[in-house]
Chain A
């Protein structure tokens, strides 16, 4: 199957700093990517939809100025957690859909996740 990478896999930062997480589709182009966060033993929570060439679409309750998303190319989306606080500590996962021939064949592929710890 297709491969989606994330970098870094783990990051520890001080409160108040900004952290950038990259999501890349390695062998297919993705005009759309999705960013999720997951707290321990909880389900995925969709944060935003990253759109190549246009603004990201944020889910209700997600601060767009806090979580900056840039879809720089057809294979790269970045999530920047600005002025990070300890409550931002979480597991962040991206996904990218590979459409195939038609929409019914569209398969979501996930990155391995980034564990963020804000001290």
Chain B
């Protein structure tokens, strides 16, 4: 059974810092892992998808890595900006037959202070 956890639960940093958000999962047979961002009162925005065959994905200042053997994924945010303030969620698939639902971490609430 897939379980996903995220640490830290909350993070507050000054603008300009490089950040690492952590996500761990229990089922290493994961076929992909997705990182999302949620702004208050809004839906979720997909940031990065890492397939099981990939080690990392990059989009702008974001870099996500995947280590299946250790059951970990990290989201690296370079040169953080106040606009990065949001809740960041990772999710992995249930890995049960044709069931396509995602298993979610509780998220990391990020505040980047100007």
- Which residues of B are interface residues toward A (Cβ below 8 A)? 31-32, 34, 36, 41-46, 49, 51-53, 89, 91, 93, 99-102, 104, 106-107
Contact = CB atoms under 8 A, between A and B. Distances in A.
B106 A105 contact: no
Identify whether the interface residues of A are mostly helix, strand, loop, or mixed.
strand
9 contacts: A34-B102, A46-B101, A103-B93, A104-B51, A107-B49, A108-B102, A110-B45, A112-B42, A113-B42
A113 B43 contact: yes
Given A104-B31, A105-B32, A107-B34, A43 B104 contact: yes
A115 B42 CA distance: 9
A7 B104 CA distance: 25
Interface residues of A, number: 24
B49 A105 contact: yes
A109 B49 CA distance: 11
A108 B51 contact: no
Given A105-B49, A110-B43, A110-B46, 18 more contacts: A34-B101, A34-B102, A43-B104, A46-B102, A49-B99, A49-B100, A91-B41, A93-B44, A104-B31, A104-B51, A106-B32, A108-B34, A110-B44, A110-B45, A111-B43, A112-B43, A113-B42, A113-B43
Interface string A38-62: 0000011010010000000000000
B52 A104 contact: yes
Contacts of B45: 110
B32 A104 contact: yes
Smallest CB-CB A-B distances: 9 pairs: A110-B44, A104-B51, A112-B43, A113-B43, A110-B43, A104-B31, A43-B106, A107-B49, A104-B32
Contacts of A34: 101-102
